[in-house]
Amino acid sequence: MRPDPRTRRAPLSFVVAIVLGAALTAQAQVGTNRDGILNPDLASEAELAALPHLTASQVQSILDNRPFASMLEVDALLSSLRETQKAALYARLFLPLNLNDTTEAEILLVPGVGGRMAHEFDEYAPYAHLAEFRREIGKYVDDDEVARLEQFVFVPIALNTATDEDILTIPGLGNRMLHEFKEYRPYRAIAQFDREMGKYVDDDEVTRLRRYVVVD
């Protein structure tokens, strides 16, 4: 007897593809901040003042110069600090680095990262998703260290296809702006994103948000 086509099972490869696709879209693009690391673009004056090794003038300089294009800009403002002081501070204050648009010098600012690990960060770029970072870096360090490292990084979020969960991983983004991000899909260019988001937030905030997105 021939099987009833209504009960015929889908090919295993098809099922695997669906499962993998769902898994990929369910993963955040900005690393989970498990240790409460402050973002220099968002931290309040009081939060910055409570951090180790920052003087009042350095706190004011951070406030005056944000948003920052990269952690290298933050580091340049703090050039008077010793390397040991920076290491302690950057474990508490860090601007997530774009895994697909960074340099070895910026990667080396991540606390506990040396030349060997910086090479591994760069070797697997470009990353399509943060899940790739976890998988590839997990070849060299244990799960706890991968989780620590991912707090300092992100993979740009595809504006036209990202899930709500992915978009909400952008630091400082809430449900109101999530709605605005999605309202103007599909985006044809990043200039369109700038224009539409500029209806709701000022230029500095548009610039800050732009770091985390790409038009796919």
| pLDDT one-digit tens code per residue, 82-94 | 999 999 999 999 9
Residue 6 belongs to a domain? no
Q: What's the whole-number mean pLDDT along residues 111-137? A: 96
Is 154:96 a contact under the CB 8 Å cutoff? yes
Q: Are residue 57 and residue 121 in the same domain, yes or no? A: yes
Give the least confident one: 7-11, 109-113, 153-157, 173-177: 7-11
Residue 117 belongs to a domain? yes
Q: Are residue 89 and residue 177 in the same domain, yes or no? A: no
Q: What is the pLDDT of residue 27?
A: 59
Residue 168 belongs to a domain? yes
Task: Report how many domains make up the chain.
Answer: 2
Q: Are residue 135 and residue 176 in the same domain, yes or no? A: no
Percent of the chain with pLDDT over 70: 88
Domain C-terminal end among 112, 128, 154: 154
Q: What is the pLDDT of residue 65?
A: 98
Q: How far is CA 68 from the centre of its chain?
A: 14
Domain C-terminal end among 154, 183, 203: 154
Residue 205 tokens read as: 């905030």
Residue 19 belongs to a domain? no
C-alpha–C-alpha distance, residues 164 and 175, integer Å: 9
Q: How confident is the model at residue 28 (pLDDT cuts 50, 70, 90)?
A: confident
DSSP classification of residue 168: T
Model confidence at 3: pLDDT above 50: no
DSSP per-residue codes, 53-121:
T--HHHHHHHHHHPSPSSHHHHHHHTTTS-HHHHHHHHTTB-PPEETTS--HHHHTTSTT--HHHHHHH
Q: What is the pLDDT of residue 7?
A: 41
Give the least confident one: 22-26, 35-39, 169-173: 22-26
Q: Are residue 83 and residue 174 in the same domain, yes or no? A: no
Alpha-carbon distance values, 210 to 1, 155, 191 (Å): 60, 12, 10
Q: Are residue 72 and residue 132 in the same domain, yes or no? A: yes
C-alpha–C-alpha distance, residues 205 and 43, integer Å: 14
C-alpha–C-alpha distance, residues 144 and 41, integer Å: 26
Q: Which domain holds residue 181?
A: 157-214
Domain C-terminal end among 154, 172, 187: 154
Q: What is the pLDDT of residue 20?
A: 37
Model confidence at 6: pLDDT above 70: no
Q: Are residue 49 and residue 112 in the same domain, yes or no? A: yes
Q: What is the pLDDT of residue 4?
A: 46
Q: What's the whole-number mean pLDDT along residues 99-104? A: 97
- Sequence-distant contacts of 122-125: CB under 8 A, at least 24 apart: 125/99, 125/100
For 142, residues 6+ apart whose C-beta sits below 8 A from its C-beta are: none
Q: Which residue has the higher pLDDT, 22 or 198?
A: 198
pLDDT tens figures, 31-64: 999 999 999 999 999 999 999 999 999 999 999 9
